[in-house]
A and B are shown apart, each in its own frame.
Chain A
Amino acid sequence: MSKFRKEGGKELPEISTASLPDIVFMLLFFFMVSTTMRDVELNVSYLQPQAKELTKLEKKDLVSNIHVGVPLRKYQKTFGTESRIQLNDQFATVDDIQSFIASEREARKEELRNKLTTSLKVDRYTKMGIIVDIKQELRKASALKLNYSALQGADEN
């Protein structure tokens, strides 16, 4: 056995891994800073419309999302292929919106409650009828800050 060991003496010294934690920690902090927690599992699919005059939504914790889109394939048997509303994790109807807003308010600190913004994430082929109903409900719940989620579109002119 010792015969083999002697040959090993000429091998390159192993690369030091002492700096590995530093590198990994750097990556870790990068991801922690630049990402946000995934909030809900989506049951609907949507393709957001494009727009040019966009504002960024600051303060993610003061945003409550309402998704409207076509149900995923596995739900299409029960919910059809028309656009549906999703609140939190479940499908909902327009009548559920007021209680949804109330519970979203409940979850925030008292002094932040009137700063809540509602972000509408809607599929671009949805008909306006459903959006109009949602807007009416939001007005009734006096959640007046609204954001129509849209993607940055190409500027063609």
Chain B
Amino acid sequence: MADIAFLLLIFFLVSTTMDVDTGIYKKLPPIPEKQETPEDIKVKKRNVLAILVNRNDELLVNGELLDISQLREKTKEFILNPNNSDELPEKQVKTVPYFGDVMVSKGLVSLQNDRGTSYEMYIRVQDELAIAARELKDEKAMSKWGKVYSELDKEQQDAVKKYVPMAISEAEPKNVGGKR
């Protein structure tokens, strides 16, 4: 009995791995059905946070050279626009369940990287944006229910998501001064 069990045990030890897969989950946009004329959705300049990453892993956010550690604050400021500045995104009144009529930002984050950008940098930028989004949601959830976002139920989460939308659009890559 013990022999058989040992045999099985050793088999499973050898043939299996313990690692859990973790990662950043993303949904890709589907390819447009037809080759339409370039989309006519014009977005005002103040509503866009343009993040460019070049092949030297340097960050240009709305024409300003930034360090990766500043990106999170910049993104949060962009979405919240606390002082209703003319430079930052417009807001529009929307009705959100639980919150009532609130001012929702029209901001859009646009991310573009070079073919020479390193994968590590790309992930770090994605990560910072994800953290910024999560912190904004946590803030709203905290002030309303006194709980963090992940502890809310589905409907409450949807409401918070509507309140602080985080739209990230990834532009088709440029090939600026780099070989494939």
Contact = CB atoms under 8 A, between A and B. Distances in A.
Interface residues of A, number: 53
Interface majority SS (helix, strand, loop, mixed), chain A: mixed
Interface in B25-64: 25-31
Contacts of A25: 5
Given A21-B2, A36-B17, A149-B22, A126 B119 contact: yes
A132 B178 CA distance: 14
A52 B127 contact: yes
A92 interface: no
Contact of B18 (A34, A51, A57, A147): A34
Given A128-B115, A146-B27, A57 B2 contact: no
A1 interface: no
Contacts of B22: 54-57, 149-152
A38 interface: yes
B119 A144 contact: no
Interface of B: 1-2, 5-6, 8-9, 12-13, 15-18, 20-31, 69, 113-120, 122-124, 126-127, 130-131, 134, 173, 175, 178, 180
